[in-house]
Amino acid sequence: MARLKKGEKAIEFSANDYLDNNIDLNDYKGKKILLSFFRGASCVFCNIRVNQLITKYPDFKKKGIEIIAIFISSKDEISKYAGKQKAPFIVIPNPSLDLYEKYGVEESYSGLFKALITPSRIINALTSRFFSLHSLKDKPVIPADFLIDENQDIYKAYYGKDFGDHLPIDEILSWE
């Protein structure tokens, strides 16, 4: 599927989160949503981002923004890795990648190389408590973030350029 653009309708879905709660996008009508697509639950860049979202979660709540995170991992992998952070937001396993396909999220091995050419990123990744070689087996999915408004229209579609590239948190929090 092609990349989604501002003004298009968000693509509806229903899925179970890693704790087996049913999540239906339609239940979020009337709310702002950050829909964030990640690589695998053991990905160091993904876990650093999840940690940033957890840290800023009170600010998201104040702004009325709900967070839904989607990983290519199984629920067991999420529990073992990203789930250890006990995110206060929804985390959905999607190893079939069907949601990734619907939202036009892409794969690219060059995204790994782009993430690794910044020395500060490498040092941050290697020295974080999230580093795991397990993520080497994951598909080379490039993250993507979608800001979905109260009418379930896409306010912003952001397709990352590398494994650690997400929509800046300050930009999300400045969303009116």
Across all residues in the chain, what is the average pLDDT? 88
At 174 the pLDDT is 97
90-93 β-sheet, strand order: 90-93, 65-71, 32-37, 144-148, 154-159
Task: Report which residue type is found at 169.
Answer: I
Determine the 3-state secondary structure of 102 from DSSP. Answer: helix
Q: For residue 129, is pLDDT > 70?
A: no
What does the pLDDT look like over 45-74, one tens digit per residue?
899 999 999 999 999 999 999 999 999 999
Name the more confident of 94 and 115: 94
Name the more confident of 33 and 133: 33
Burial class of 126 by CB neighbour count within 10 A (0 to 12, 13 to 18, 19+): exposed
Q: What span, in angstroms and rounded, lies between the C-alpha atoms of 161 and 173?
A: 21
Q: What span, in angstroms and rounded, lies between the C-alpha atoms of 62 and 59?
A: 5
- E strands, the chain, in order: 14-16, 22-24, 32-37, 65-71, 90-93, 144-148, 154-159
Collect all residues with Cβ–Cβ distance below 8 Å to 121 and sequence separation of at least 6: 45, 115, 164
pLDDT-derived band at 164 (thresholds 50, 70, 90) equals confident
Q: For residue 119, is pLDDT > 60?
A: no
